[in-house]
Structure 1
Amino acid sequence: MIRSSLFPIGVLALSVLTPVTAYAEQPSNVGDAIMTARAYHDSGDYQRDFDAVILQARQTLARDAAHTRKPAIVLDIDETTLSNWDEIRADDFGYIPNGPCDSLPKGPCGAVAWEQSGRAPAFVSTRALIEDAYNQHVAVFFVTGRHENERAATERNLRAAGIPRWDGLYLRPDDSHVRAGAYKTPTRASIEAKGYTIVESLGDQPSDLTGGHAEHTFLLPNPFYRVP
């Protein structure tokens, strides 16, 4: 066998087996992110972190409400007041807007069908915050990215989850496609225009809270999806 003097066998093998560095930087692996998010929820860490934020909100409300003229709080609904975990888990963290949701805990579960079913449970700690608000004569407003055609189902779900009353429920017009912040910020401003002082605003997305019109903001944990 004739070997090339230009490529000793060890060098030739190394050149074949060593991959060329062709990637500047890869994004996080989606599969790994899903496993991490599921473990975060199932370990109890998610609920513990969620409850810790709500506790801060309750303490702030107790401190400030009595000294505020016409106080109010504003809450998002999904992953702030109501939990969609059954849908999220069934769809393996994907978003499936249409189709039925009648095979839980298996998927697929259509998001619209899930919301129309009114089966989402309330977070116990959020429900306690709402009860605190009413006991301290603080108005409660919900500002959600859900659309107006879901009003009846959303109201039914809130009541079934142990939240029987509120002072206002704001939903997006059915033909609205603006980003969450572009809708929620002016909605809070409209609440202030009625004479209320928004002591605190709570949401699970940064877009729930941007734009001001709240004395305090509380961002709840949500590694499961992002709403810009």
Structure 2
Amino acid sequence: MHRTAWTTRAVVTLAAAATALIAVPTASQAAPRTVEVQSAVTSGAITAPKGVDYTAWLHDVGSVVDVARPYLKQRLAASPAGEKPAIVLDIDNTSLETDFHHFWTFPTPAIQSMRDMVREANAEGAAVFFVTARPGIIESPTSYNLKAVGYPVTGLYVRDLDDLFENVSTYKTEKRAEIEARGYTIVANFGNNTTDLVGGHAERTFKLPDYGGKLS
């Protein structure tokens, strides 16, 4: 997600409540073939503030899930004895419907196709980590939200004071490295912004649509 708007949105939410696939390569991979998502104009009442069509967005997210799900199933089935496979996810508009008509809703609903895929991967042996640029002050409600809408949560990384003003991609790369240092193999990393995905420390990366920055 884009982070400049997050702190303000988080404060408001707490006060109220209390791309087709773009595959980003790891360092060892060649530059990816990029497929652009054709953004639909607003056509209904359920829309993001910047006019992204809600139904079209869910369809585009589903297109990413349709590629990631069989990959995860095959990769986890082939996991060697003793391996600790894991997946890493961003939260806003990757795991939760943050920017859409649920802005004033707490807990924020899950993106159902993502949640279902994550639950399947967890049942097949994958640990599930969330790495977000949300500040540490809202770690507890964030953890509650994820669990309340059905996500398994092995670990949640939020930005503490030392991380708060660090470059987002650097911070997220460091946290994935920490997960690896705990003995996990990150088999997939999901996000809707390149800052969620660059820096390596994942076998495969999957980018959900943000329509050129229209979604946080």
Residue in structure 2 matched with residue 48 of structure 1 by the alignment: 59
Q: Distance in 1 between matches of 2:78 and 2:148?
A: 33
Q: Which runs of 5+ in 2 are unaligned?
A: 1-38, 43-47
The higher-RCO structure (CA 8 Å, 6+ apart) is 2
Shift of 1:166: 1.3
Partners of 2:111 and 2:143 in 1: CA distance: 16
Of 49, 74, 77, which aligns to 1:63? 74
State whether residues 133 and 159 of structure 2, in contact with CA within 8 Å, keep that contact through their aligned partners in structure 1: yes
Distance 2:195 2:77 in 1: 29
Displacement of 1:162? 2.0
How far is the alpha carbon of 1:222 from its aligned partner?
1.1
Secondary structure of the structure 2 residue equivalent to 1:162: coil
Confirm or deny: 8 A CA contact 2:186 2:201 kept in the other structure: yes
User: Aligned residue for 2:95?
Assistant: 81
Distance (whole Å) between structure 2 residues aligned to residue 34 and residue 127 of structure 1:
24
Residue number in structure 2 paired with 1:120: 108
**2:159 maps to what in 1?**
172
Alpha-carbon separation, structure 2, partners of 1:155 and 1:171: 10
The alignment's TM-score, normalised by the length of structure 1, stands at 0.66
Cα contact 1:119–1:157 (8 A) shared by 2 = yes
Give the match for residue 130 of structure 1.
Answer: 118
Equivalent position SS for 1:74? strand
**1:158: how far off?**
1.2
Superposition map of 1:17-56 within 5 A: 40-42=52-54, 44-56=55-67
Q: Output the amino acid matched with 1:194.
A: R
Partner Cα distance (2:75, 2:90) in 1: 21
CA distance in 2, matches of 1:49, 1:141: 23
For residues 132 and 177 of structure 1, the distance between their equivalents in structure 2, rounded to whole angstroms, comes to 35
Normalised by the size of structure 2, how large is the TM-score?
0.70
- Which one-letter code corresponds to 2:154 in the other structure? D
Q: Percent identity?
A: 40
Q: Does the CA-based 8 Å contact 2:96-2:108 persist in structure 1?
A: yes
1:208 paired with 2:207, answer no
**CA deviations over 1:2-52 (Å, ceiling 9, x no partner):** xxxxxxxxxxxxxxxxxxxxxxxxxxxxxxx9966755424x221111111
Q: Is the 8 A contact 2:52 2:214 kept in 1?
A: no
- The reply on whether 1:194 has 2:208 as its aligned counterpart is no
How far 1:85 moved relative to its partner? 2.5
Over the aligned positions, Cα root-mean-square deviation in angstroms equals 2.4
